[in-house]
Amino acid sequence: MRRTRIEVDVIGQTPNRLKTRKPRPFDLGGSARWLEAHMRAAIRRGPLTRREQGLADRLMKLKREAGSHSPSAPTILKTIPELRMRVDACFLSNPYATELFLDHLYREVIRPGRLRRVLEFYPSQNRVIAGKLADALGLPVERLFIGNGAIEIIQAILHRFTGDKILVNLPTFSPYHEFVRPDTQVVYNLLRKEDEFHFDVGEYLRTVHREKPDTVVLINPNNPDGGYIPHAKLTAMLEELRDVPNVLVDESFIHFACEGEGFAYRTLTRDMERFPNLMVVKSMSKDFGVAGIRAGYAVMAPERVKALLGNGYLWNSSGLAEYFFDLYSRPGFLADYERKRIHYVRHSRRFFKALSHLPGVHAYPTHANFALLELRRDDMTAEDLVCRLLVRRGIYTRACDDKKGLEPGRFVRVASRTRSENRYILRGLKEVLR
Ligand SMILES: Cc1ncc(COP(=O)(O)O)c(C=O)c1O
């Protein structure tokens, strides 16, 4: 039987077996089998030892210092070098797409010696990059705003267009309530765990009519629970939101939310003409697995793009982000990406199903590339689970204690990774939960 070669990212370290091999340009590390064999000796059950507890305490301190966002894997490894992180299931990206980007980068930029050019010279201006993306997306360039990651665009929108009241669902991606102007009031629409974080359109519209916000934010699929509003339902609701000046829909995880046949996904960027108040924000970090290059875009009315550009953003993409957008505009790259996307979505679904059978936890239904787990036992907190997974198994997951709208101590978010990493995460979870 032919075995598929599936890589496991051994973050920040090279296993001895690989050190002896001729290095490949971007070695993603050993197989899950190697990882399992290597880790088995190190696995202990029961309470943490003093040494392990010491590592867990340092980890928690780091997490507290990072505020409402998790410390990145490189930050953790730099601060706690004794920790052996094997799998980053905290940050939310498609690892197969990262590999695709790296392959191109190596072949087209690094090997032919073009990296210097990318680093030494200014990248193209915002409008030039928008032009490249416009062709690829089939959208008018006047409607496109390029950002140094979606987060820059979110901040720009909140500061330029949001007035005195914004409505945000809870739980949510926290910048939507953290980074508003001091004079903007944030009101919340609570998604309840008792309803599996289901989005109730009727209730939402009643809140909008009562509160009269000038901006509403919808993340679809939502982070951190993965809940999804189907396209038809969403466009019907947008009809009801015509009087709201700013409707911001964040589609950063839309490539993982399939509707209908053949793993197709439906984006609102095709509906811009119908809804002048609509702004669609899209990160490239998740589906393309390139958070480090900081690339994102937004689609909105041309006068809004003009207004944002009036505040600057001339060279806000890096040379690497521009290279990424160049790739994005090539049909061959997109066809390869589609294969990676479908493969990832397919096996992520199996992973989420397996998570739903874990004892003592509830896995909420998800249409994204992560799942929100609720601990339904009293002998372990979310922090305990996260620390044990990381200290004993090298698996980094996210405790959601800092997320508004989620009961502290109960919720952990786990990202889907490669197929073998997911197997490894499942085994780790089973062991820690035993
Ligand atoms: C819903 C959502 N939007 C935007 C972002 C930020 O994306 P970027 O890395 O492009 O800044 C995140 C990151 O987690 C997110 O969850």
pLDDT tens digits, 39-65: 554 556 677 888 888 888 888 888 888
What are the tokens at 295?
Answer: 């690339």
Alpha carbon of 251 to ligand 1 centroid (Å): 9
Minimum CA distance residue for ligand 1 atom 3: 252
For the chain, give the percent of residues with pLDDT over 90.
75
Alpha carbon of 151 to ligand 1 centroid (Å): 6
What are the tokens at 239?
Answer: 């009809």
Query: pLDDT tens, 302-352?
Result: 999 999 999 999 899 999 999 999 999 999 999 999 999 999 999 999 999
**Secondary structure string (H, E, C) spanning the chain:** CCCCCCCCCCCCCCCHHHHCCCCCCCCCCCCHHHHHHHHHCCCCCCCCCHHHHHHHHHHHHHHHHCCCCCCCHHHHHHHCCCCCCCEECCCCCCHHHHHHHHHHHHHHHHCCCCHHHHHHCCCCCHHHHHHHHHHHHCCCHHHEEEECCHHHHHHHHHHHCCCCEEEEEECCCCHHHHCCCCCCEEEEEECCHHHCCCCCHHHHHHHHHHHCCCEEEEECCCCCCCCCCCHHHHHHHHHHCCCCCEEEEECCCHHHCCCCHHHCCCCHHHHHHHCCCEEEEEECCCCCCCHHHCCEEEECCHHHHHHHHCCCCCCCCCHHHHHHHHHHCCHHHHHHHHHHHHHHHHHHHHHHHHHCCCCCEEECCCCCCEEEEEECCCCCCHHHHHHHHHHHHCEECEECCCCCCCCCCCEEEEECCCHHHHHHHHHHHHHHHC
The predicted structure's pLDDT at residue 359: 92
Please answer whether residues 149 and 294 qualify as being in contact, where contact means their C-beta atoms are separated by less than 8 angstroms: yes
- Ligand 1 near 173 CB (within 6 A): yes
Query: pLDDT tens, 246-271?
Result: 999 999 999 999 998 889 999 999 99
The predicted structure's pLDDT at residue 268: 97
pLDDT of 3 above 80: no
**343: part of which helix (H) or strand (E)?**
helix 331-355
Number of CB atoms found within 10 A of residue 123's CB: 18
What are the tokens at 336?
Answer: 């390869």
Atom of ligand 1 minimally distant from the CA of 151: 11
Global pTM value: 0.89
The predicted structure's pLDDT at residue 19: 43
- Ligand 1 near 141 CB (within 6 A): no
Alpha carbon of 152 to ligand 1 centroid (Å): 10
- Ligand 1 near 285 CB (within 6 A): yes
What are the tokens at 256?
Answer: 């993982």
- Ligand 1 near 150 CB (within 6 A): yes
Q: Which of 34-48, 357-371, 375-389 has the lowest mean pLDDT?
A: 34-48
Arithmetic mean of pLDDT over the chain:
89
CA–CA dist 166, 158 (Å, integer): 9
List of domains in the chain? 16-98+336-433 (3.90.1150.10), 123-329 (3.40.640.10)
Alpha carbon of 154 to ligand 1 centroid (Å): 9
CA–CA dist 288, 279 (Å, integer): 21
Alpha carbon of 76 to ligand 1 centroid (Å): 20
pLDDT higher at 175 or 44: 175
CA–CA dist 429, 3 (Å, integer): 25
Please answer whether residues 32 and 423 qualify as being in contact, where contact means their C-beta atoms are separated by less than 8 angstroms: yes
pLDDT of 75 above 90: no
- Ligand 1 near 283 CB (within 6 A): yes
Buried-exposed string 385-399: b where 16+ CB fall within 10 A, e elsewhere: bbbbbbbbbbbbbbb
- Ligand 1 near 252 CB (within 6 A): yes
- Ligand 1 near 149 CB (within 6 A): yes
Q: Which CB contacts under 8 angstroms, 24+ apart, belong to 202-209?
A: 204/237, 205/237, 205/240, 205/241, 207/167, 208/167, 208/241, 208/244
The predicted structure's pLDDT at residue 434: 84
The predicted structure's pLDDT at residue 23: 39
Ligand 1 pocket, mutate which of 283, 284, 369 (most atoms under 8 A from CB): 283
